Structure 1
Amino acid sequence: MLTTGGCPKTALSIKDALEALEGRWKLLILFALSTGPKRFKQISKEVTGITDKTLSKELKNLEANKLLKRNVYDTFPPTVEYSITEHGKSLEKVMEELHFWGLAHRKEIIGN
């Protein structure tokens, strides 16, 4: 159990984590990439409802936070693939816990 004891460093680390993952798409993008590298259109198809503009913005943000990497291959036209970094893979347990919490929450709220 996490106890803050009034520690501002704990609050700061939680704030940093939430800022890196804020929004409705980032964890879904990371989940889509959890099965391996993907191209932009593949991610777009797996993360239903996201616009290309938003996906592009979120990919750049995830890359800036070192949660994914962008690989550009020297082909014509250039091929670009996105994959999770080791730092991004460290969120695997967090995503799994969110999955289980989401199931329990859905059951609590909806009753299904």
Structure 2
Amino acid sequence: MERVPSTLLSRISKQFQVQVPINEIFSRPTIKELSEYVQKTDEKTYLPTIERVEHQKYYPASSVQKRLHSIHHIDETKMTYNMPMVLSIEGALANHCESS
């Protein structure tokens, strides 16, 4: 349920090609109020088109990909930039930072 506003904004943007700030979802709680905002807004969403490139054996790396590649080769034993894991916490948590 926590992703409802972001999902709604995404669908509005895709369907009507307008940018709606998240605070408008909460300040206009009815469909009627929100639709009036969408109809009146001039904040068009920038929807870039991705053009197909011809098939190649290799493609040039982006600057971000190059940076991550360089970071990895500094210390190949670490993968701190990419930590594919989930941490599930159950029960109450104590905040030990407040006492210091």
- The two structures share one fold, judged by TM-score above 0.5: no
Quick one: higher RCO (CA 8 Å, sep 6+), 1 or 2? 1
TM-score by structure 2 length? 0.24
TM-score by structure 1 length? 0.22
Q: Give the structure with the higher percent helix.
A: 1
| Larger CA Rg, structure 1 vs 2 | 2
Q: Give the structure with the higher percent strand.
A: 1
